[in-house]
């Protein structure tokens, strides 16, 4: 007797895992994940066996590699993307009484770095297509107290940098580009990191390369670079390796800084990972292209839009739900996808809606309608260069399954 052929139930008829059906995956696929190879481990081990674990030669090597790769004159490393943002705000001269304009649709650190300097973050709404800072909205928020603009390259899509830099030039402002999502992104055929007055990157484990925790500021301004170096080292004008090489002990603190140094151990990891940066970016772009193709005609799903003059780095892949076409809200869709073992996330709760900002500045909600509407519909799908083709297809299967279930 011949075996009865097994036929797969169409996605439109599959029972959701949250309702008791079998999940698409047996194990959770996270929204982001680091990738470590044996060469990374060996590079770290070599540094552990060296004479320098911090303030040593790997610092400059890593900084020079990143500066050359993005096309900037200087790169200064930090212990995190947040400390790099803080340092850039300091180098920009922000202080009490000043204001800096930024996007509400970002991680809180973008605005917090302004507060660290005693200045006030002023939010301006985002553009409906890219969810990046809207230059016209930013222009409307400029006052006599404005000193800087902090555009965010949301999800790895560069902000409208020409318009923002032009606006900054008209008002004598400094542009601190939060490119923590955008290492490797291109804006009008130039790499992010070579365009703004200062550009900030993050090397958190879910980013395009990792140092564990870490960050970097790139700039073409030698004064900014020198201030950044001093700020990360307690405000001291020389580091331990410089003094040892010169056989000197004397040092001077010339400004009030912090210990924001990145270690040689971390830089060794970052240097080794940087050798795969082009391949990592290419893989993320392949995944994004597969997602975009699948979602192009799917009712209820709005894929991220890409402007014609950019090449995103795809740190995130944030879809927006067409809630008018669905019988469920974002929360229900989120929980259903999680039950399928797809580790979706949400990026971000608008900063002005966090309790601290509401209590301190009196935000009620509704001030930035584009960002707030996007937040209610956003879901970040898994996006990292270590994903296999099977992982990608699992995501598409789960999204199709859930969206079809909730379609009106």
Can you tell me the distance from the alpha carbon of 236 to that of 84, in angstroms, rounded to the nearest whole number?
17
Can 207 be counted among the known catalytic residues?
Answer: yes
Can you tell me the distance from the alpha carbon of 215 to that of 111, in angstroms, rounded to the nearest whole number?
17
* Per-position DSSP letters for 301-317, written without gaps between them: EEPPP--TTEE---S-E
Give SS3 for 350. Answer: coil
Token output for 115: 């507060």
- Cα–Cα distance list, 102 to 142, 163, 308 (Å): 11, 14, 24
> For the CA atoms of 148, 231, 210, 195, what is the dihedral angle to 10 degrees?
40
- Cα–Cα distance list, 221 to 163, 326, 404 (Å): 21, 51, 53
Q: Are 407 and 326 within 8 A, CB to CB?
A: yes
Nearest to 237 by CA among 216, 247, 250, 252: 252
Name the one residue in this structure whose structure tokens are 């296999």.
388
Asked if the bond preceding 348 is cis, omega within 30° of 0, the reply is: yes
Q: Which run of H or E residues covers position 270?
A: helix 264-274
Q: Cβ of 402: how many Cβ atoms within 10 Å?
A: 29
Q: Which of 73, 207, 275, 401 is catalytic?
A: 207
Q: Are strands 146-150 and 120-123 parallel, antiparallel or unpaired?
A: unpaired
Can you tell me the distance from the alpha carbon of 121 to that of 100, in angstroms, rounded to the nearest whole number?
5
Asked if the bond preceding 313 is cis, omega within 30° of 0, the reply is: no
Token output for 393: 């297809």
Token output for 232: 């990360």
User: Any idea which residues carry the catalytic annotation?
Assistant: 207
């Amino acid at each position: 007797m011949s075996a009865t052929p097994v036929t797969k139930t169409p996605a439109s008829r599959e029972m959701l895992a949250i309702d008791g059906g079998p999940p698409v995956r047996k194990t959770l696929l996270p929204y982001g994940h680091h990738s470590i190879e044996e060469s990374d481990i060996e590079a770290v081990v070599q540094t552990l066996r060296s004479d320098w674990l911090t303030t040593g030669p790997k610092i400059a090597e890593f900084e020079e590699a990143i500066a050359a790769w993005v096309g900037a004159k200087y790169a200064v490393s930090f212990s995190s993307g947040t400390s790099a943002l803080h340092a850039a705000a300091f180098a920009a001269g922000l202080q009490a009484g000043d204001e800096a304009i930024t996007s509400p649709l970002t991680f809180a650190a973008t605005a917090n770095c302004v507060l660290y300097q005693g200045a006030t973050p002023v939010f301006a709404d985002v553009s409906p297509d890219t969810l990046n800072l809207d230059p016209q909205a930013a222009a409307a928020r400029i006052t006599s107290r404005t000193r800087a603009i902090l555009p965010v390259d949301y999800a790895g899509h560069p902000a409208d940098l020409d318009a923002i830099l032009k606006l900054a030039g008209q008002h004598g402002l400094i542009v601190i580009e939060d490119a923590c999502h955008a290492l490797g992104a291109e804006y009008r055929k130039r790499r992010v990191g070579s365009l703004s007055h200062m550009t900030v990157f993050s090397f958190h484990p879910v980013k395009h390369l990792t140092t564990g925790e870490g960050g970097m500021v790139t700039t073409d301004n030698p004064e900014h670079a020198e201030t950044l170096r001093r700020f990360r080292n307690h405000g001291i004008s020389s580091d331990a390796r410089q003094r040892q090489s010169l056989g000197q002990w004397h040092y001077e603190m010339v400004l009030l800084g912090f210990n924001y140094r990145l270690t040689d151990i971390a830089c060794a990891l970052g240097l080794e990972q940087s050798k795969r940066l082009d391949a990592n970016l290419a893989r993320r772009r392949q995944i994004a292209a597969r997602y975009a193709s699948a979602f192009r005609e799917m009712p209820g799903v709005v894929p991220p839009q890409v402007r014609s003059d950019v090449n995103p780095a795809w740190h995130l892949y944030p879809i927006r739900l067409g809630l008018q076409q669905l019988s469920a809200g974002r929360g229900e869709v989120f929980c259903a996808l999680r039950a399928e073992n797809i580790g979706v996330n949400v990026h971000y709760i608008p900063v002005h809606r966090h309790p601290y900002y509401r209590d301190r500045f009196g935000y009620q909600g509704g001030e930035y309608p584009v960002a707030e509407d996007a937040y209610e519909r956003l879901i970040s799908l898994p996006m990292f260069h270590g994903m296999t083709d099977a992982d990608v297809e699992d995501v598409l299967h789960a999204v199709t399954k859930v969206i079809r279930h909730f379609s009106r």
